[in-house]
Chain A
Amino acid sequence: MRLWLAHYWLYIKAHKEMEEGGSQLVLQTAPFDARFPYTNQTKNCWQNFVDFHRCSKKLGEEHESCKYFKRVYTSLCPKGWVDNWNDQVEAGTFPGRI
């Protein structure tokens, strides 16, 4: 526990230094998701991809919630998978329920 607290402190310190330096790059990535706590993250990537498409169907791609799903699946899914799924969505052969 103490070990991880020490690391967390280092992490916060590094981020603070970066913020003070006025960096143009914001370090952010898909956060921990309690639905997918295991080593296997395949479903995490898939679910966020499907959620993005459901969301954009309902609210439009530019909606803030949909942008979040897109950011998460872009961070998690390999580009090859996303390209393949996008082709399937376009062709109407995507196996997920959108």
Chain B
Amino acid sequence: MLNNFFYIVNVCGKKDIPESWHLGFQEAAAPVMEEIVFFHDQIMFLLVIIVIVVLWLLVEALNGKYYDRDLIDGTLLEIVWTLIPAVILVFIASPSLKLLYLMDEVVSPALTIKAIGHQWYWSYEYSDYQEETLEFDSYMVPTSDLNSGDFRLLEVDNRLVVPINTHVRILVTGADVLHSFAVPALGIKTDAVPGRLNQAGIFIKRPGTFYGQCSEICGANHSFMPIVIEAVSLDRYINWMLSLSNE
């Protein structure tokens, strides 16, 4: 009983990883994702009102109480049932467009990271600091090598380290076929197209480990090339970078 209770709490509660029967969003860690969640909630509010009104109208119509055999047309009625949906659509479209342009914005970044999709792993490059680009591959940890508490099909050997409270530009490209770099908690999903550099901006608000997966069918092991972003404070990021540069 208690287990079931905790399971339901877990399923309904927000978190940074996907779980089975996880119906909601993951906890937002970036402002863009927060806006996406607000937008979703706003649409759900409108949706509930529409469903209730339509069901009520259906029930009333089937009831036959307001049947009028002489009603052939009604100009006022038609104006009303055209204008109301139009206004509702405006209330959906305007925040949607705002969000669309907000997601395109890359506010003067302090750091550029390149994510390159391969069949079937991601490789990352940091080339802002030294002559030599820091680059590494990030492969999924196979189930047989997982430690207790690790997430199956989500852990990688080398995580992407990103500082928090910093505007970061992520440039995504593919080395062979189409891939897609997606991390739900950060609200990013960018196609990795060979020969093209796609830009996305992220701003992480809290430290944590955020998981994502390739989101464009890219071949046999498409399901086995996860993305793990480790968000750390700026100090820790710099120490990490310096320690790697000194090696």
Contacts and interface: CB of A to CB of B under 8 A. Distances in A.
B213 to A, nearest CB: 21
B196 interface: yes
A23 B235 CA distance: 9
Interface of B: 31, 104-112, 114, 116, 125, 127-129, 133, 135, 163, 165-167, 169, 171, 173, 175, 190, 195-200, 203, 234-235, 238, 241-242
A25 B238 contact: yes
A36 B105 CA distance: 12
Interface residues of A, number: 36
A11 B7 CA distance: 38
Question: From DSSP, what is the main secondary structure of chain B's interface residues?
Answer: mixed
A39 B107 CA distance: 13
A79 B127 contact: yes
A8 B128 CA distance: 21
Contacts of B135: 79
Interface in A14-31: 14-15, 17-18, 21, 23-31
A77 to B, nearest CB: 8
A73 to B, nearest CB: 10
Contacts of B133: 74, 79
Given A27-B111, A30-B112, A76-B112, A7 B234 contact: no
Interface string A28-63: 111110000011111011000000000000000000
A28 B238 contact: no
Given A11-B167, A74-B127, A75-B127, A39 B198 contact: yes
A28 to B, nearest CB: 6
Contacts of B163: 14
A76 B129 CA distance: 12
Contacts of A39: 104, 190, 198-200
A20 to B, nearest CB: 11
A77 B127 CA distance: 9
B128 A75 contact: yes
B114 A32 contact: no
Nearest to A70: B131
Given A74-B127, A79-B127, A31 B203 contact: no
